[in-house]
Structure formats: structure tokens, C-alpha cells
């Protein structure tokens, strides 16, 4: 296995990984190539088995369109600081619990801390299980919880392929 900065030649394989195991929005090689920011992958032979990505927030209202009153202080903090938004983190299920996620997060955090004053991670927690899959990898860094919002998208009737209909995930928003 090899950990490297994202390279364009891996765009289609990253899109496949995201579509198979992080089904928020459909991805293509073109959407992966269009993304900017800090990005690392883990490859095993020709297969991309892990990916982490983040970018500097340009428009906080685009990133956090809901719960304006509950997130007011948080939004002000983002507007006052150069802030990295952690947009993607996934490891192929067949490779989990081998330290791949921890290494990807380590590489990402080292680079993100050089580029931004603050780093935001939104942990999507399955309400029925109370499980944020990537919590262990990110919370080893001194993140502080900003807000925990139950069923973040539900009032806005956002359809979620992971939830199989209306999204019922909670949002655990943390910042470093």
C-alpha cells in the first residue's frame, strides 16, 4: 500500500470508491478532477482504497445552509478565519481496521494545518446506531465539538441515498 497526494490519473478510481462507499452525491472523474484543496489517497496496486479531501471555505452559507441560528457563533468564527472544510473521507470496507484511515487523516491534518487557521469536520452520525464511523481517526486531534444537531437534514426534506429516503443522520460538527 502506498499513501500519496491525489494525482489526476486516479480520478476515475476515486469516483468509483466514493460512489460505492460514500454515496452523498454521484461522482465522476470530472467532478473529482474539478475539486481542489488538500487530497490524499491510499492505493493498493492500481486500486484506490482510501481517500480524504478538504478545501478552504469560500462561502460559509453554501457549506452550512441550515440551522443558521444554532450555528451563528460557529459561522462567525469561520468568516473570521481561513477555514478548511473536510469534504470527503472513505476507506474501502475490505481494508478498514488496518490503520489506513488514521494515516490518511494524519497526512490530511498535517497539510490542512499549514494552509488554514481552522479545520471543520462534520461527522454524519447514524441516528439509529449513534455511530460516526470516522470519529476515532479525527478526534485523536484536539477537535472541539461546535454543535450536535439531531437529524440535520430531516426538516429540509433532503433525500439521502445512504438513508434510503429522507436523511435521518445527525450532524456532529467539530472544529480545530
Beta bridge partners of 174: 121, 145
pLDDT on residue 129: 67
Cell numbers standing for residue 156: 429540509
pLDDT on residue 160: 72
**Angle, CA of 71, 36 and 65, to the nearest 5°:** 20
Alpha helices in the chain (DSSP H): 11-21, 29-34, 60-63, 72-80, 100-115, 135-139
pLDDT on residue 38: 97
Cβ–Cβ < 8 Å for 51, 88: yes
pLDDT on residue 14: 97
Tens digit of pLDDT at every position of the chain (176 positions): 999 999 999 999 999 999 988 767 789 999 999 999 999 999 999 999 999 999 999 999 999 998 999 999 999 999 999 999 999 999 999 999 999 999 999 999 999 999 999 999 998 887 666 667 788 888 888 899 999 988 887 777 777 766 777 777 888 899 99
Cβ–Cβ < 8 Å for 116, 82: yes
Cβ–Cβ < 8 Å for 175, 143: yes
In this structure, how many other beta carbons lie within 10 angstroms of the beta carbon of residue 40?
21
**DSSP structural state of residue 93:** G
Amino acid at each position: 500500500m502506498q499513501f500519496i497526494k491525489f494525482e489526476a490519473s486516479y480520478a476515475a478510481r476515486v469516483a468509483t470508491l466514493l460512489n460505492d462507499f460514500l454515496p452523498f452525491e454521484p461522482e465522476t472523474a470530472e467532478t473529482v478532477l474539478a475539486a481542489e484543496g488538500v487530497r490524499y489517497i491510499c492505493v493498493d496496486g492500481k486500486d484506490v482504497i482510501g481517500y480524504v479531501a478538504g478545501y478552504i471555505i469560500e462561502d460559509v452559507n453554501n457549506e452550512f445552509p441550515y440551522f443558521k441560528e444554532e450555528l451563528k457563533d460557529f459561522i462567525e468564527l469561520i468568516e473570521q478565519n481561513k477555514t478548511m472544510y473536510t469534504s470527503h473521507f472513505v476507506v474501502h470496507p475490505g481494508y478498514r481496521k488496518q490503520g489506513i484511515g488514521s494515516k490518511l487523516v494524519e497526512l490530511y491534518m498535517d497539510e490542512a494545518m499549514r494552509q488554514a487557521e481552522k479545520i471543520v469536520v462534520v461527522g454524519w452520525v447514524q441516528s439509529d446506531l449513534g455511530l460516526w464511523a470516522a470519529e476515532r481517526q479525527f478526534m485523536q486531534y484536539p477537535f472541539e465539538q461546535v454543535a450536535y444537531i439531531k437529524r440535520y437534514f430531516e426538516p429540509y426534506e433532503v433525500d439521502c441515498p445512504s438513508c434510503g429516503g429522507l436523511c435521518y443522520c445527525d450532524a456532529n460538527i467539530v472544529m480545530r
